[in-house]
Amino acid sequence: MMELLCPHLVTSGGRDGFSEAAVRPAAEEKSSDVIGAARRCFTVSRGWSLEQSTTPDKVIREPWSRRLPMTRTGWAWGRAPPGAPRLLAALLLLLALLGLAAAQGGQSGQNICPAAADIQPCGCTVKKNGLDILCETTETQHINKAMDALKRRGNAVIFYLKLRHNTLPKLLQFVFLGLDIRHLTIHNSSLAVVEESSLSSVGKKLTQLDLSQNILTMVPSKALGTLHHLLILNLNHNKISAIHNNAFIGLDTLEILTLYENKIDVVDANAFEGLGKKLKRLNLGGNGLRQVPQKALATLEVLRKLEMQENELTEIREGDFEGLRNLDTLNLQHNRLNTVPAKVFSHLKLLNSLELENNQIRFVDPEAFSGLEENLQYLRLGDNKLNDIPSDALRRLHRLRHLDLRVNNITFIPDDAFSGFGDSITFLNLQKNAILVLPGLAFENLNSLETLNMQNNKLEHVSEEVMEPIIDTVTHFDLSDNPLICTCDLSWYHTWYRRAVGMVDEPAAHKRKTMCYLNSEHREYNLLALPLEKMQCVRKNLGPTSAALQVYETRAVNTVFVVMIITCVLLAFF
């Protein structure tokens, strides 16, 4: 077709400097090449030539009559007949558009859903990256029928194949042969057996595999070993009891492995062999582990997040996390730990977040957080049995920003509780403890504090003196559910609240009313509506804080006094 519409570009080489490969037949060109060919032909048909040089796209104006001799037809090598250039340009433009449409149509045509009747009761929708196939509440024979229909589609990309809530006790060999699947989910389908070759045909393209909420009793290692491009493997909510040596061999590219809520109580020393170079997240939570599987974990040198929550751990020891030098997050919540021993985390130099809540921790060794000085920012010790703030252990954490001590047995905050590490803390949760009194310097070192939760303690008084170090920085403050007594000492609250409203959209006080009890009237008042006149309080017309204003006034008086003295001296001198 190109030869017929643009013969003056298709030559045997020589006279015009172009070879026969200069323009390919349109049927063999990509859409972009077709458009380019159309432009070249349009240029030439108007009496322009393409200069063969180091810049082949350069166009120079030169009539063809000067370069090519006329022939008898006046068509092949000379000027085109009158009106031909426009006709040729129109035809070539049409050809280019048809070629582009054909190319796009051919590509999208591969991702057309089969007829609904062919894959029932499964459903199919076309997504940007391929087909999305969903088969729910059906049986093996219907799934096989749908797979056969999809195989007849040729090279269709199945971006999501989701088999959920089915009766599929066994995944047969080569069941997906001939299919290009990228994400495969077999969820809650009574799957108990995954045959060795059932996944081998999709090993080159599959990146995510979800086999969660089935009845697998062991890791299907042989079937998984062919998935050399897998990034995410989800085996949550099965009945796997042990992870044996080389269980995941062959999964060289795996980055996320989740085994949450199984029955795992044994992890062999080489269980994660082959995963050390790529695995970034491992979830072993919700199992029956009684100790940290140190030897198995030590090989995971690039692991960033380790989740071991909801196990049966009763102790952690120094060296348990040796080898995990890139770990960023460690989750040990909901275990049975009662102490945090010295140097137990000393190998985790890059640890940023440590979660120890919902254990039975009574004692934190002063050296417990040794090694975490430079990077730890989030520490959660809530829902334990601590009787006091473990200040000696916390002092080394000079980058700590988030400290959660909620639901413990803390009754008192010493004056120096936060000295040495309080400057960096922005979030402090002391909710649901048994704190009775706040001494005057309790918050002295919390210069960056933004959120303070004291909800549900046993506080009767919170004076302005106590709040002075933090009142200018705190924007979220919860004092609710304390047995506060309405006194003039609480008049600062209204001033703080007005400032907080101006700094944040919805401070904590908006969400929960903070009440106090006025003994003289035997009734409760919202702290924002204290009857200060009835209480015979002198309302302080302060800026951010009374102390700040007093300092300001003192400095102003001193400045004026100094200026007056200097003026008098100068007048006397002159």
pLDDT band (50, 70, 90) for residue 4: very low
SS3 177: coil
> What gap in Å lies between CA 215 and CA 262, rounded to an integer?
10
* 404 φ, ψ (degrees, to nearest 5): -115, 115
> What gap in Å lies between CA 510 and CA 13, rounded to an integer?
84
Mean pLDDT of the chain: 82
Task: Indicate left, alpha or beta for 514 from its phi (over 0: left) and psi (-120 to 50: alpha).
Answer: beta
Quick one: tokens of 243? 């992870």
Looking at the chain, the whole-number percentage of residues with pLDDT higher than 70 is: 73
What pLDDT was estimated at residue 390?
A: 97
Quick one: tokens of 366? 């002063």
pLDDT band (50, 70, 90) for residue 500: confident
Query: DSSP labels for 219-235?
Result: --HHHHTT-TT--EEE-
Looking at the chain, the whole-number percentage of residues with pLDDT higher than 90 is: 68
> What gap in Å lies between CA 95 and CA 353, rounded to an integer?
61
pLDDT over 70 at 167, yes or no? yes
Pick 151 or 293 by higher pLDDT.
293
Q: What's 35-89 look like in SS3? A: HHHHHHHHHHHCCEEECCCCCCCCEEECCHHHHCCCCCCCCCCCCCCCCHHHHHH
pLDDT band (50, 70, 90) for residue 287: very high
Q: What is the pLDDT of residues 92-122, one digit of tens each?
A: 555 554 444 444 444 444 688 999 999 999 9
Residues 135, 146: contact at Cβ < 8 Å? Answer: yes
* 130 φ, ψ (degrees, to nearest 5): 150, -165
What pLDDT was estimated at residue 572?
A: 59
What pLDDT was estimated at residue 311?
A: 98
Quick one: tokens of 182? 């990228």
Residue 329: its H or E element: strand 329-331
> What gap in Å lies between CA 106 and CA 306, rounded to an integer?
46
Pick 333 or 553 by higher pLDDT.
333
> What gap in Å lies between CA 524 and CA 515, rounded to an integer?
6
pLDDT band (50, 70, 90) for residue 85: low
> What gap in Å lies between CA 420 and CA 429, rounded to an integer?
18
Span of 110-114, 136-140, 304-308, 543-547 with lowest mean pLDDT = 543-547
> What gap in Å lies between CA 331 and CA 313, rounded to an integer?
12
Query: DSSP labels for 274-315?
Result: T-TTT--EEE--SS--SS--HHHHTT-TT--EEE--SS----
Residues 288, 263: contact at Cβ < 8 Å? Answer: yes
> What gap in Å lies between CA 355 and CA 498, rounded to an integer?
35
Pick 195 or 27 by higher pLDDT.
195
> What gap in Å lies between CA 403 and CA 422, rounded to an integer?
10
> What gap in Å lies between CA 456 and CA 270, rounded to an integer?
48
Residues 267, 293: contact at Cβ < 8 Å? Answer: yes
Q: Find where tokens 């499964």 sit.
A: 122
What pLDDT was estimated at residue 573?
A: 54
Q: Find where tokens 């999964």 sit.
A: 251
Q: What is the pLDDT of residues 8-41, one digit of tens each?
A: 333 334 433 333 333 333 333 334 443 444 444 4
What pLDDT was estimated at residue 514?
A: 94
Residue 355: its H or E element: strand 353-355
pLDDT band (50, 70, 90) for residue 557: very low
Q: Find where tokens 């969400």 sit.
A: 511
pLDDT over 90 at 457, yes or no? yes
pLDDT band (50, 70, 90) for residue 155: confident
What pLDDT was estimated at residue 558?
A: 55
* 547 φ, ψ (degrees, to nearest 5): -65, -40
Q: What is the pLDDT of residues 209-251, one digit of tens each?
A: 999 999 999 999 999 999 999 999 999 999 999 999 999 999 9
Query: DSSP labels for 112-138?
Result: PPPPHHHHTTSEEEEETTEEEEEEES-
pLDDT band (50, 70, 90) for residue 50: very low
pTM for the complete prediction?
0.76
pLDDT over 60 at 153, yes or no? yes
User: What type of residue sits at position 295?
Assistant: K
Span of 229-243, 254-268, 519-533 with lowest mean pLDDT = 519-533
**Mean pLDDT to the nearest integer, 457-484:** 95
**CA 116, chain centre distance (Å):** 37
What pLDDT was estimated at residue 511?
A: 57
> What gap in Å lies between CA 76 and CA 44, rounded to an integer?
12
pLDDT band (50, 70, 90) for residue 540: low
> What gap in Å lies between CA 386 and CA 81, rounded to an integer?
98
User: What type of residue sits at position 91?
Assistant: L
Q: What is the pLDDT of residues 378-436, one digit of tens each?
A: 999 999 999 999 999 999 999 999 999 999 999 999 999 999 899 999 999 999 999 99
pLDDT over 90 at 516, yes or no? yes
Quick one: tokens of 238? 């099965």
Residues 145, 152: contact at Cβ < 8 Å? Answer: no
Residue among 163, 203, 153, 168 nearest 184 (CA) = 163
User: What type of residue sits at position 301?
Assistant: E
pLDDT band (50, 70, 90) for residue 54: very low
Q: How many other CB atoms are found less than 10 A from the CB of residue 329? A: 16
Query: DSSP labels for 478-538?
Result: E--SS--B--GGGGHHHHHHHHHHHHSSS-HHHHS--EEEETTTTEEEEGGG--TTTTT--
pLDDT band (50, 70, 90) for residue 513: confident
